[in-house]
Amino acid sequence: MFDFLKGYDLLGAFWVTVQLTVYSALGSLIWGTLLAGMKVSPVPLMRGFATAYVNVVRNIPLTVIIVFSSLGLYQTLGVMLGADVIDDINFRLAVLALAAYTAAFVCEALRSGINTVPVGQAEAARALGLSFTQVLRLIILPQAFRAVVNPLSNVLIALTKNTTVASAIGVVEASYLMKDMIEAEAQLILISAVFAFGFIVLTLPTGLILGWVSKKVAVKR
Amino acid sequence: MQLRKVTAASAAVLALALTATACGSDKKDSGSGDGKKITIGIKIDQPGIGLKTPDGKFAGFDVDVATYVAKELGYKAEDIVFKETKSADRETAIERGDVKFIAASYSINDERLQKVDFAGPYLLAHQDILVRADDDSIKSPEDLNNKKLCSVTGSTSAKNVKDKLAPKAQLQTYGGYSECLTGLENKVIDALTTDDSILAGYASQANFQGKFKLAGFKMTNENYGIGLKKGDADLKKKVNDALTKMVSDGSWEKAVKANFGPANYKNEPAPKIGNIVK
Amino acid sequence: MSSVLYDAQGPRAKQRNILYTVLFVLCAAAVVWWVYDGLAEKHQLDWIKWKPFFTSSQPWETYIWPGLQSTLKAAFFALIIALPLGALFGVGRLSDHRWVRVPAGVVVEFFRAIPVLILMIIANAVYSEYTNINTDDRPLYAVVTGLVLYNASVLAEIVRAGIHTLPKGQGEAAKALGMRKGQTMVFVLLPQAVTAMLPAIVSQLVVIVKDTALGGAVMTFPELLASVRPMAANYGANTIACFTVIALIYLLVNFALTSFASWLERWLRRNKKGKGTAPGGAPETVGTPSLVVDDGRAV
């Protein structure tokens, strides 16, 4: 019944999806946290930059951003991100674009998390003489992160699904393979079911595990 | 009532959106209907073959052939409705009767012959590569090893090269040929591969003249035919007659020169009807 | 401008801020210069590549406007079909009956777990294989189907969250009046929940508009992003210029939608304050005053 899978590297394609997800998740977490920090910082220009960044990136389709990363960064500006084979370059560019896009959503989630921290926490920290970065790093962000595990897990699930857009610049991940298979093989319904199942396997546990984590780490108030 | 106000506001927005979108969908003629109009499937994004030009008209060799054939079938130029047929949709469009016939860089092959009939061929093209005019490093297909080769998603041209000729070639795929050309122009991509007719069409564009050249590898034979409904022998004969006439009265040669000429594209002589070069 | 996160700034802090600002500007300027220089060196900023957009209305009339129309059409249909479906499933998940609640939950979770792109590819293949839809319309059908399946499940969650934020008294009062469960839902809870969630629904429209681009990039739907193809083919593969213009149009359209959403949210809040006991309003996540001044965005 599953003969049609022969000759296709199904696991390999999903492995690329997983790698895209993991690397871009890490990248977006770092960049998103920095953006959130900028957004609440005392320097007006940085606040403005973070706000503008989030508004611009959120309102442009991911497809455009990913195509830009390949066409603009690589084909025009010659950015190769330390790789020299096209497949690697495209993979890294896709990670960069996904991270840049997802960071906007991480930033928004974190900012709402910062809002859940009681004002007294920041006031007490300042009374102890902590500087802005110390307040943020030691007091506010640790509490904010614990409050936003759930929203962040939604962002992560969205990211997992968004990796399919990388096929637009020729990264051979799950959706790229699926399109190839639909064109070449007759078992349309079975192929669809296999790929749908693959994504459910990837996203459902993420949601469940992080949902459990979010209950575990929630700050009792 | 606040709710009612909100509902009214959203209703107004929806109504606006409706009118804004509705005016775009003027009804087109469905083709095989009343016998006055004729719908022909073409490509709209391939310079030299079939291209939607900024004034909303269509230009290219396929368009010229289709116009000539339609004229011979008894339709006036203003009665022709051109419609985009994507590669993957061509057989379906013919089977469903969405178009009367298709002239869209449509190669005749056995798989397609099971679903549709072909008149022609009217052009013999070959898979070739396009390189920068000053790049002399690629003299044979084998030189593509370790080079960066670009093609479009879903096309078999790039795979052909990699599987048969240059296994170490690096492939880049994009949604359209234009993206490949940007890379080629910027010296990141080394070669773009597809049918030489399409490549010649790109290279003949005013902005590109003198920048790119065809390598002249005849890697495959592509017999462009006019696709039409299976079993429609009458139409097939009429189209074939029209194509024969187009060649004999010199219009064919003129169309080739006009659309591919500037690229220094050496076209094959007009193919004989029914003579498919394997 | 002051915030609870940092002290009021003295002279030294102000100086430091100016230093940071200058450094930041320098970094930004360096990046901008690098991009500008790179583009100019590869002749991507040559006037000939950008000219068509400024000197003639033709590219706008022939390629961009029809593309934008398709984008808006697909987004509009997707929203009006997904909204009632979403409400249905959202309410279904709150049902007292297991046999309604569980299937509704499964459907919602299922379609939320699968990428829209994959839903679109599957829909396109299914329509092409098993139905007789005109090849002109099929991409639109496929795009709308993919968008509806995904967004209905997202909207279901939005509606469910909206109903959860309503004060308990609403349902209890309806019960006290002798309304049946269905009546309570349709006449009391749902209208309030949808109203309260309007900003979130409008924000979802931004997501839908962005996702239509998937139909153009990977399938054959002739929307705004796909209009780049014939356009760039005509103007000498000026892809960078074309994509930039298209990105700006997306930005404008979506920015208008986002602004509308925040205006809607503010308007609902204001009205809520005026009336005292009017429906939910935007869900307030915190009881304590917030550390950061919220700019009133919905999502």
> What is the per-residue pLDDT for C151?
94
Among residues B264, B267, B278, B181, the alpha carbon closest in space to that of B223 is found at: B278
> C-alpha C237: how far from its chain's center?
30
Q: What is the pLDDT of residues B179-222, one digit of tens each?
A: 999 999 889 999 999 998 999 888 888 778 788 888 888 888 88
Q: Tell me which chain C residues have a C-beta less than 8 angstroms from the C-beta of B177.
A: 233, 237
User: Is residue B24 included in any domain, yes or no?
Assistant: no
User: Is residue C295 included in any domain, yes or no?
Assistant: no
| Nearest 10 degrees: Cα torsion B61, B66, B67, B71 | 140
Domain CATH code at residue C199: 1.10.3720.10
> What is the per-residue pLDDT for C273?
59
Mean pLDDT of all residues in chain A?
A: 90
User: Is residue C45 included in any domain, yes or no?
Assistant: no
Query: Does residue C40 sit at the B interface (CB-CB below 8 Å)?
Result: no
Confidence category of residue C286, pLDDT binned at 50, 70, 90: very low
User: Is residue C230 included in any domain, yes or no?
Assistant: yes
- Beta carbons of B178 and C128 less than 8 Å apart: no
In C, minimum Cα distance to B29 occurs at: C136
Chains that touch A (3 or more CB pairs under 8 A): B, C
Through-space distance between the first and last CA atoms of chain A, rounded to whole angstroms = 55
Confidence category of residue B8, pLDDT binned at 50, 70, 90: low
Question: Could you tell me if B60 and B190 lie in one domain?
Answer: no
Residues 146-185 of C with CB under 8 A from B: none
What is the tally of structural domains in chain C?
1
Cα C257 from Cα C270, distance rounded (Å): 20
Whether residue B93 contacts residue B51, with contact meaning beta carbons closer than 8 Å, is answered with no
User: Is residue C174 included in any domain, yes or no?
Assistant: yes
Query: Does residue A71 sit at the B interface (CB-CB below 8 Å)?
Result: yes
Confidence category of residue B164, pLDDT binned at 50, 70, 90: confident
Cα C59 from Cα C50, distance rounded (Å): 11
> What is the per-residue pLDDT for C290?
45
Q: How far is C180 from chain A (nearest CA, A)?
A: 34
Confidence category of residue C68, pLDDT binned at 50, 70, 90: very high
> What is the per-residue pLDDT for A1?
63
Q: How far is B184 from chain A (nearest CA, A)?
A: 8
Whether residue B63 contacts residue B42, with contact meaning beta carbons closer than 8 Å, is answered with yes
Q: Tell me which chain B residues have a C-beta less than 8 angstroms from the C-beta of A188.
A: none
In terms of pLDDT, which residue wins out, C26 or B142? C26
Question: Could you tell me if B119 and B155 lie in one domain?
Answer: no
Query: Does residue A170 sit at the B interface (CB-CB below 8 Å)?
Result: yes
Q: Tell me which chain A residues have a C-beta less than 8 angstroms from the C-beta of B186.
A: 75-76
Q: Among C43, C62, C237, whose Cβ lies nearest the Cβ of B56?
A: C62
Domain CATH code at residue B245: 3.40.190.10
Question: C124: which 2 tokens?
Answer: 């396109």
Q: Please name each of the domains of chain A with its CATH number.
A: 3-217 (1.10.3720.10)
Interface test with B, best of C80, C126, C135 (most B CBs within 10 A): C135
Question: C90: which 2 tokens?
Answer: 């959202």
Range of the domain at C152: 51-275
Query: Does residue C207 sit at the A interface (CB-CB below 8 Å)?
Result: no
Whether residue A58 contacts residue C251, with contact meaning beta carbons closer than 8 Å, is answered with no
Q: How far is C195 from chain B (nearest CA, A)?
A: 7
Question: Could you tell me if B231 and B120 lie in one domain?
Answer: yes
- Beta carbons of A199 and C118 less than 8 Å apart: yes
State the Rg of chain B over Cα: 22
Q: Is the pLDDT of residue C278 over 50?
A: no
User: Is residue B42 included in any domain, yes or no?
Assistant: yes
- Beta carbons of C20 and A43 less than 8 Å apart: yes
Question: Could you tell me if B106 and B157 lie in one domain?
Answer: no
- Beta carbons of C271 and B89 less than 8 Å apart: no
Cβ contacts from A onto C, under 8 A: 172
Mean pLDDT of all residues in chain B?
A: 82
> C-alpha B226: how far from its chain's center?
12
Q: What is the pLDDT of residues A16-59, one digit of tens each?
A: 999 999 999 999 999 999 999 999 988 889 999 999 999 999 99
Q: Tell me which chain A residues have a C-beta less than 8 angstroms from the C-beta of B148.
A: 86
- Beta carbons of A71 and B179 less than 8 Å apart: yes
Q: Tell me which chain A residues have a C-beta less than 8 angstroms from the C-beta of B182.
A: 71, 75-76
- Beta carbons of C286 and A116 less than 8 Å apart: yes
Q: What is the CA angle A147-C264-C249, rounded to 5?
A: 90
Axis crossing angle, helix A44-58 with helix A86-116, rounded to the nearest 10: 120
Assess: ipTM above 0.90: no
- Beta carbons of B186 and A75 less than 8 Å apart: yes
Q: What is the pLDDT of residues B66-89, one digit of tens each?
A: 999 999 998 888 889 998 888 877
Q: Among C44, C239, C278, whose Cβ lies nearest the Cβ of B178?
A: C239
In a 13 Å sphere around the CA of A23, the CA atoms on its Cβ side amount to 15
Give the DSSP letter string of A103-168. HHHHHHHHHHHHHHS-HHHHHHHHHTT--HHHIIIIIIHHHHHHHTHHHHHHHHHHHHHHGGGGGG
User: Is residue B108 included in any domain, yes or no?
Assistant: yes
**Exposure b/e, A105-141, CB count within 10 A at least 16 = b:** bbbbbbbbbbbbbbeebbeebbeeebebeebbeebbb
Chains that touch B (3 or more CB pairs under 8 A): A, C
- Give the three-state DSSP class for B125: strand
What does each C-alpha distance from A124 to A89, A132, B139, C5, C179 come to in angstroms?
48, 13, 74, 10, 51
Question: Could you tell me if B135 and B149 lie in one domain?
Answer: yes
Instruction: Give the rounded percent of residues in chain C with a pLDDT score beyond 90.
Output: 40
Q: Is the pLDDT of residue B21 over 50?
A: no
Residues 95-154 of A with CB under 8 A from C: 108, 111-112, 114-119, 122-123, 126, 131-132, 135-136, 140
User: Is residue B65 included in any domain, yes or no?
Assistant: yes
Residues 5-44 of C with CB under 8 A from A: 5-7, 9, 13, 17, 20-21, 24-25, 28, 34-35, 38-39, 42, 44
> C-alpha B94: how far from its chain's center?
16
Question: B267: which 2 tokens?
Answer: 């076209």
- Beta carbons of B18 and C76 less than 8 Å apart: yes
Question: Could you tell me if B226 and B207 lie in one domain?
Answer: no
Lowest average pLDDT, out of A196-200, B7-11, C7-11, C51-55, goes to B7-11
Question: Could you tell me if B132 and B191 lie in one domain?
Answer: yes
In C, minimum Cα distance to A159 occurs at: C115
Mean pLDDT of all residues in chain C?
A: 84
Q: Is the pLDDT of residue C293 over 50?
A: no
In A, minimum Cα distance to B156 occurs at: A180
Confidence category of residue B25, pLDDT binned at 50, 70, 90: very low
Question: Could you tell me if B120 and B231 lie in one domain?
Answer: yes
> What is the per-residue pLDDT for B90?
86
Q: Among C56, C138, C218, whose Cβ lies nearest the Cβ of B54?
A: C56
- Beta carbons of C128 and B176 less than 8 Å apart: no
Q: Tell me which chain B residues have a C-beta less than 8 angstroms from the C-beta of C240.
A: 182
> What is the per-residue pLDDT for B20?
45
Range of the domain at B105: 38-125+222-263
Question: C61: which 2 tokens?
Answer: 């009339």
In terms of pLDDT, which residue wins out, A91 or B206? A91
pLDDT (mean) for A101-124: 92
Question: Could you tell me if B180 and B236 lie in one domain?
Answer: no
Q: How far is A71 from chain B (nearest CA, A)?
A: 7
Among residues A27, A35, A154, the alpha carbon closest in space to that of A93 is found at: A27
Other CB atoms within 10 A of residue B218 CB? 13
Instruction: Give the rounded percent of residues in chain B with a pLDDT score beyond 70.
Output: 86
Confidence category of residue B264, pLDDT binned at 50, 70, 90: low
Q: Is the pLDDT of residue C225 over 70?
A: yes
> What is the per-residue pLDDT for B135?
87
Q: What is the pLDDT of residues C250-272, one digit of tens each?
A: 999 999 998 998 898 888 888 76
Among residues C269, A114, A86, the alpha carbon closest in space to that of B189 is found at: A86
Cα C135 from Cα C122, distance rounded (Å): 16
Question: Could you tell me if B202 and B257 lie in one domain?
Answer: no
Confidence category of residue B22, pLDDT binned at 50, 70, 90: very low
pLDDT (mean) for A148-173: 91
Q: How far is C293 from chain B (nearest CA, A)?
A: 27
> What is the per-residue pLDDT for B26?
39
Q: Is the pLDDT of residue B3 over 60?
A: no
What is the tally of structural domains in chain B?
2
Query: Does residue A59 sit at the C interface (CB-CB below 8 Å)?
Result: yes
Question: Could you tell me if B195 and B252 lie in one domain?
Answer: no
Q: Among A75, A87, A179, whose Cβ lies nearest the Cβ of B188?
A: A75
> What is the per-residue pLDDT for B9?
53
In C, minimum Cα distance to A141 occurs at: C5
Global model pTM greater than 0.90: no
Question: Could you tell me if B164 and B190 lie in one domain?
Answer: yes
Q: Among A115, A131, A132, whose Cβ lies nearest the Cβ of C285?
A: A115
- Beta carbons of C56 and B208 less than 8 Å apart: no
Q: Is the pLDDT of residue C174 over 70?
A: yes
- Beta carbons of A175 and C247 less than 8 Å apart: no
Q: Strands of B101-102's sheet, edge to edge?
A: B80-84, B38-42, B101-102, B222-229, B116-125
User: Is residue C22 included in any domain, yes or no?
Assistant: no
pLDDT (mean) for A139-168: 92
User: Is residue B26 included in any domain, yes or no?
Assistant: no
